[in-house]
Structure 1
Amino acid sequence: MQFQIECNTEKTRKVCLICHQSFQMLAARLIVCNDEGDGYGDICPQCTARGSDWIHHQLQEFSNQLLTIK
């Protein structure tokens, strides 16, 4: 898993990959990607403010839940 930060010029709304809330994109965009650079989704500013360790933990829990469903 990687984090990619991009400048954003679009005024679109996205849904946060972690909290599933709709949010307005700001000047910068945080995207969660796999090791090949394929994007999984965007992270909202509120979740971003909690830091990369917290985000990583939330995504790890989500991944573990997916594995138990299979």
Structure 2
Amino acid sequence: MLHRHGHHVRLPIGQEVRGLAEPVVDAVALDAALRELHHVLAEVAGASQRRCETFFDELNEFGVHSVGTSSR
């Protein structure tokens, strides 16, 4: 189950139907779930990049211009 902004999205993987040996996957539902997952991952990546940029901006304010060096 994928949690996104207070909502739950059920991933339709491994649903079993009596009489069938293999799990049944609803292709349309799986596509929708994968699109939602892609969207969530893009949001997370964007937020993570913004945090890194803010962190390095703050380091620059203190005179640290690259990891392991400082301006003197």
Same fold at TM > 0.5:
no
The structure that is strand-richer by fraction is 1
The structure that is helix-richer by fraction is 2
Of structures 1 and 2, the one with the larger relative CO (CA 8 A, separation 6+) is 1
TM-score by length of structure 2 reads 0.33
TM-score by length of structure 1 reads 0.34
